Each structure stands twice: as structure tokens, then as C-alpha cells.
Amino acid sequence: MQPQALADGLLLLSHPPVYTLGQGASLEHLRFDPTDPAYELHRVERGGEVTYHGPGQWVGYALMDLRRHQQDLHWYLRQLEAVLMTTLGEFGLKGERLAGLTGVWVEGCKVAAIGIRATRWITWNGFALNVNPDLRAFEAIVPCGIRDRPVGCLADFIPHVCMSQVEPILAAAFAAQFDCTLKAVNLAQWLGEADGLG
């Protein structure tokens, strides 16, 4: 596939319960035996430590050609944080960055994690925004290797918020931040078109 042939895009997915380890992640941040079949665990190609994905969480896979934007991964991380902060702002919540850490917090609780990978300035992976997941799943790990900061979700602050409310706002914030137009597509169709480019 020719990387430049694929338009910038965002896949918003909700996963079944799974724990993922970034490339350099340490098993010491697991609070369970990694061979225990009760836990779905995968090492993935993003940066960062261990995290949890599951129902009630939007996982955004940003497929971007940074040559069309800025060839700077730190800039890109800050842009993803801005997308998440804008989304939270639409719900009346103040998302914050914490010095030296990646992600977005509300009142000291981490509500969004970011883990990226890029090859030849083409990105994949991206972020996870906790809308209304079962936060007990995070108790099995040290999320993102951060021991002294709790994990939270939008539902902690907006009790009846649901995934379908957040999806269009999150997509619009992404489109505005990266000055791109998003359209809803069938994932299988999109993947078929991408395969056909090469």
C-alpha cells in the first residue's frame, strides 16, 4: 500500500475486555498472572505501558500522515490531548494535562489515555476515552504505569452519559483539530478500499 494514498482517518471502536501492553511495557504493572486464561492480554505495537480496553470506552485509532501536518510526535500527542479536552468541554468538563504525563485528567482522575506508533510519519493507534466502563477492570493493572493517579470516566461526573452521545462530539473534535472531514464508513468496506490501494 502506498502510505500517501490513504486519507487521514479515525476509527472509533469499542472493544471486548482486553489488556494491552505497549512495546516497552513491564509485566510488573500487571496484578494478575499473565498466563491466566481468565485475562485477555496482548502485546501491541503502540508506545506506553499496560492499559485496559472494554465496553463503555471509545478507542480511537487515528490514521494520519503527519507529513501533511507536522512531523513531530510530541506535537501529535498534544493534538490528541486537545481533541479529548475539547470533547470533555462539550460536556461541561474541564480536561487537563499533567506535567510530564501523557493523557487527559478531570479533577485528578485520568479519563483518557494515549498510546501511539508511527512509521514513516504514518500513525496508528491513538487514544482511549473512558465514557462509562466498569472501572474495576483497571484494578488488575497499574494503568499506564502510574501508581498514584486514579482512573476515572465521564460517568463519574455525568451519571447518565452514554457512548452514543460522545461519539459524534469526539469525531467532530478530531475533525476540527486536524482540519479534516470525516464520514461514516463501513469498516470492512474501508479496509477493502485500503487493500486495493497497493
| C-alpha to C-alpha distance for 172 and 193, rounded to whole angstroms | 23
Distances (CA, A) of 71 to 46, 66, 111, 122: 18, 5, 27, 10
The domain segmentation of the chain, as residue ranges, is 3-193
DSSP SS3 for 76: helix
Q: With beta carbons less than 8 A apart as the criterion, state whether 117 and 124 touch.
A: yes
**Is this structure's pTM higher than 0.85?**
yes
110-139 pLDDT, tens per residue? 999 999 999 999 998 899 999 999 999 999
The pLDDT score that the predictor gives to residue 84 is 99
CATH number assigned to the domain with residue range 3-193, chosen from the 4 options 3.30.300.30, 3.30.930.10, 3.20.20.70, 3.40.190.10: 3.30.930.10
Considering only CA atoms, which of 131, 130, 66 is closest in space to residue 103? Answer: 130
Catalytic residues: 144
Parts of the chain with a pLDDT under 70? 1-6, 190-198
